[in-house]
């Protein structure tokens, strides 16, 4: 196959950190080429360079053998490069046809006016070409997520894209819609359209891709012929080594403990599948999976933040009649959300106001002086336990480091003395020292009898800190692992869902 794209010695630096280093990469006409790697490996940076969002600091890009510069996204489109991001770019308030030709509207050759009739005729031609049963006059807001993702591809093809970059395109799609997408991709391959396919699902890669390039720490590690490799080889390339976790935390036998949390056939509207699991008193349970696996959706749902549910939740054997976070708190549940800045904190408020906000009844009925005195005492007591620094109750939370902001979120819930804590990515975006401190506090809470469920994509941390790990994939629990007997590669392979060839 002829070479359509080649990258030579591409480098990119952000704030002194090398996001990409000496990247060499080629793309052949009509192939579907997977880009693989853990979060932060450099895949997204490469895509943004190819689409003109970022400029490479070094190296060259060759398109059909000619050296080119892609100055911006408009230049990329003119050169036949289209991209379908995980975050959709469609406008919900206009029709399918209007979205397909947005910014590229057909005009009458005689009068030079916007030709709406021709736009819908051409939209129908594109949709029929791929057997897509969508009315071009339908509002995009009425489409399902899978239909919207397919519409993104049609939109790119209407701009005469010859190279398509697809970033996690199956997110939010049903199995039937995924089948339709892959049929479209196969049809495009026959028409010599070339595709870069970014996915965390290895079963998709083995199903649809011709070659796969693995990135690790901003470097191009190797390229595989998909038909001649297997899951183990790809996972090894992604992580660089295959070793059992060297646990620093002793393994505990909790079989004699009572069940603190039981979730059975539980599902809400934001969850892909019903889920069942149980957690012992004082246990630290890890729930992991790749992006889109459903960890955050599960956490929000259990905490009553996702509307009506089916199935049951029990705390120490008592079934909960729970419909909101306020009720969840009454039953002894606490939730530390993934995004502390938008869901966990009021950034302009003080440390003290943030900590007391979920426990305001503790100071109700007091006069103004006693309220402030008690609020300060509560803040100082819990702040010292969690080692919040600087511990100045009146300081705005905005002025704290990420690690100390996270400690404030945890403090806010610990003041209420919960029995079960749900923690969604509790160490994301904080430094190594703060991570170690937070996990030390989780272990201390466990010794005191508190139960913790950690939803996280930090494999090393889960393997070291948790008593058990459940793996989610597409909203379903696909495995239960003993961290003391599991390597990162085994955990990653189960998360990715790859199949041996």
Answer whether residue 5 shows pLDDT above 60. yes
Domains 3-239 and 259-332+419-430+449-496 share a fold: yes
3-state SS assignment for residue 60: strand
Q: What is the DSSP string of 409-463?
A: HHHHHHTT--SEEEEESTTTT--HHHHHHHHHHHHHHHHTT-EEEEE-S-HHHHH
CATH 3.40.50.300, applies to 259-332+419-430+449-496: yes
Q: Can you give the pLDDT at residue 179? A: 87
Of 300, 298, 296, nearest in space to 266 by CA: 298
State yes or no: pLDDT of 241 exceeds 80: no
Q: What is the pLDDT of residue 40?
A: 74
pLDDT the model gives residue 14: 87
pLDDT range class, residue 323, cuts 50, 70, 90 = confident
What confidence tier does 470 reach under pLDDT thresholds 50, 70, 90? very high
Whether 243 shows a pLDDT value over 60: the answer reads: no
Residue 256 has pLDDT above 90, yes or no: no
pLDDT of residue 364 exceeding 80: no
Consecutive H or E run containing 121:
helix 116-129
- Between residues 167 and 364, the one the model is more confident about: 167
pLDDT of res. 452? 96
**Averaged pLDDT, 6-32:** 93
pLDDT-derived band of residue 33, with 50, 70 and 90 as boundaries? Answer: very high
Q: From CA 140, how far away is CA 92, in angstroms rounded?
A: 5
Neighbours of 379 (CB within 10 A): 25
Q: Percent of the chain at pLDDT above 70?
A: 96
Q: Is the pLDDT of residue 174 over 90?
A: no
Average pLDDT, the chain: 88
What is the reported pTM? 0.70
Q: What is the reported pLDDT for 501?
A: 37
CATH class, range 3-239: alpha beta
What local confidence, expressed as pLDDT, does residue 370 receive? 63
Q: What is the mean pLDDT of residues 258-273?
A: 94
pLDDT in tens, 268-306: 988 989 999 999 999 999 999 887 788 999 999 999 998
Query: What was the pLDDT predicted at 499?
Result: 47
Q: 160 and 136 in contact (C-beta within 8 Å)?
A: no
Residue 110: per-residue pLDDT: 66
pLDDT tens-digit series, residues 87-125: 778 899 999 999 988 877 888 776 667 788 888 998 998
- Provide the residue ranges of all domains of the chain, joining segments of one domain with +: 3-239, 259-332+419-430+449-496, 340-417
| Residues 185-205: b if buried by 16+ CB within 10 A, e if exposed | beebbeeebbbbbbbbbbebb
DSSP character string of 39-56: TTSSHHHHHHHHTTSS--
Q: What pLDDT does 208 receive?
A: 95
Q: What is the pLDDT of residue 245?
A: 54
Q: Is the pLDDT of residue 485 over 80?
A: yes
Sheet holding 66-68, edge to edge: 17-28, 3-14, 58-63, 66-68
CA distance linking residue 259 with residue 276, whole number of Å: 14
Place of tokens 């909790």: 254
CA pair distance 285, 273, nearest whole angstrom: 20
pLDDT at 369 (0 to 100): 62
Q: Which of 241-250, 327-336, 373-382 has the lowest mean pLDDT?
A: 241-250
pLDDT at 472 (0 to 100)? 93
Q: Which residue has the higher pLDDT, 244 or 187?
A: 187
Please name the residue that has the structure tokens 């100045």. 392
Q: Does the pLDDT of residue 128 top 60, yes or no?
A: yes
Mean pLDDT of 444-453: 94
pLDDT value for 498: 54
Q: Is residue 75 very low, low, confident or very high in pLDDT (cuts 50, 70, 90)?
A: very high
Residue 81 is inside which H or E element, if any? strand 81-84
Strands 284-288 and 468-473: parallel
pLDDT of residue 458: 85
**pLDDT in the model for residue 434:** 79
Most distant pair of Cα atoms in the chain: their distance: 83
> Is 270 within 8 Å of 301 (Cβ atoms)?
yes
| Banded model confidence at residue 17, pLDDT cuts 50, 70, 90 | confident
Q: What's residue 242's pLDDT?
A: 58
Backbone phi and psi for residue 124, each to the nearest 5 degrees, phi listed first: -60, -40
- Please give the distance of CA 183 from its chain centroid, rounded to a whole number: 26
pLDDT for the residue numbered 63: 95
Give the model confidence (pLDDT) of 413-432 as tens digits. Answer: 888 889 999 999 888 777 77
* Number of helices and strands in the chain (H, E): 16, 20
């Amino acid at each position: 196959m002829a070479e359509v794209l080649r990258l030579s010695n591409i480098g990119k630096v952000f704030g002194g950190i090398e996001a990409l280093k000496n990247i060499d990469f080629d793309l052949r006409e009509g192939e579907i080429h997977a880009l693989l790697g853990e979060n932060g490996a450099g895949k997204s940076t490469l895509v943004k360079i190819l689409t003109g969002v970022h400029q490479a600091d070094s190296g060259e890009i060759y398109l059909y053998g000619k050296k080119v510069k892609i100055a911006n996204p408009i230049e990329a489109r003119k050169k036949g490069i289209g991209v379908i991001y995980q975050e959709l770019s469609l406008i919900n308030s206009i029709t399918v046809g209007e979205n397909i030709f947005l910014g590229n509207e057909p005009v009458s050759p005689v009068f030079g006016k916007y030709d709406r009739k021709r736009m819908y005729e051409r939209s129908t031609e594109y949709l029929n070409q791929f057997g897509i049963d969508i009315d071009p006059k339908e509002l995009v807001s009425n489409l399902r997520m899978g239909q919207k993702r397919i519409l993104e591809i049609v939109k790119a093809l209407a701009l005469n894209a010859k190279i398509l970059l697809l970033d996690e395109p199956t997110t939010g799609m049903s199995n039937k819609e995924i089948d339709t997408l892959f049929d479209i991709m196969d049809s495009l391959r026959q028409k010599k359209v070339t595709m870069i396919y970014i996915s965390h699902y290895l079963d998709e890669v083995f199903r649809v891709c011709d070659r796969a390039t693995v990135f690790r720490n901003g470097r191009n590690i190797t390229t595989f012929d998909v038909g001649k490799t297997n899951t183990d080889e790809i996972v090894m390339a992604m992580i660089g080594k295959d070793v059992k976790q060297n646990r620093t935390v002793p393994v505990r036998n909790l079989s004699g403990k009572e069940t603190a949390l039981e979730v059975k056939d539980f599902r809400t509207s934001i969850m892909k599948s019903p889920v069942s699991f149980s957690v012992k008193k004082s246990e630290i349970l890890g729930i992991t999976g790749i992006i889109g696996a459903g960890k955050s959706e599960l956490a929000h749902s259990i905490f009553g933040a996702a509307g009506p549910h089916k199935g049951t939740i029990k705390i120490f054997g008592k079934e909960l009649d729970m419909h909101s976070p306020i009720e969840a708190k009454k039953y002894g549940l606490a939730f530390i959300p993934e995004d502390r800045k938008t869901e966990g904190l009021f950034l302009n408020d003080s440390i003290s106001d943030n900590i007391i906000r979920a426990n305001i009844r503790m100071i109700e009925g007091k006069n103004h002086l006693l309220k402030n005195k008690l609020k300060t005492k509560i803040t100082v007591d819990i702040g010292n336990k969690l080692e919040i620094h600087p511990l100045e109750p009146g300081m705005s939370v905005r002025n704290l480091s990420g690690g100390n902001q996270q400690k404030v979120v945890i403090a806010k819930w610990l003041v209420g003395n919960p029995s079960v804590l749900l923690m969604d990515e509790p160490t994301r975006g904080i430094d190594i020292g703060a991570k170690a401190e937070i996990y030390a506090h989780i272990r201390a809470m466990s010794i005191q009898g508190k139960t913790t469920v950690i939803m996280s994509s930090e494999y090393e941390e889960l393997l070291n800190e948790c008593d058990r790990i459940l793996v989610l994939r597409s909203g379903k629990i696909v495995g239960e692992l003993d961290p003391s007997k599991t390597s990162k590669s085994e955990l990653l392979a189960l998360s990715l869902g790859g199949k041996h060839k």
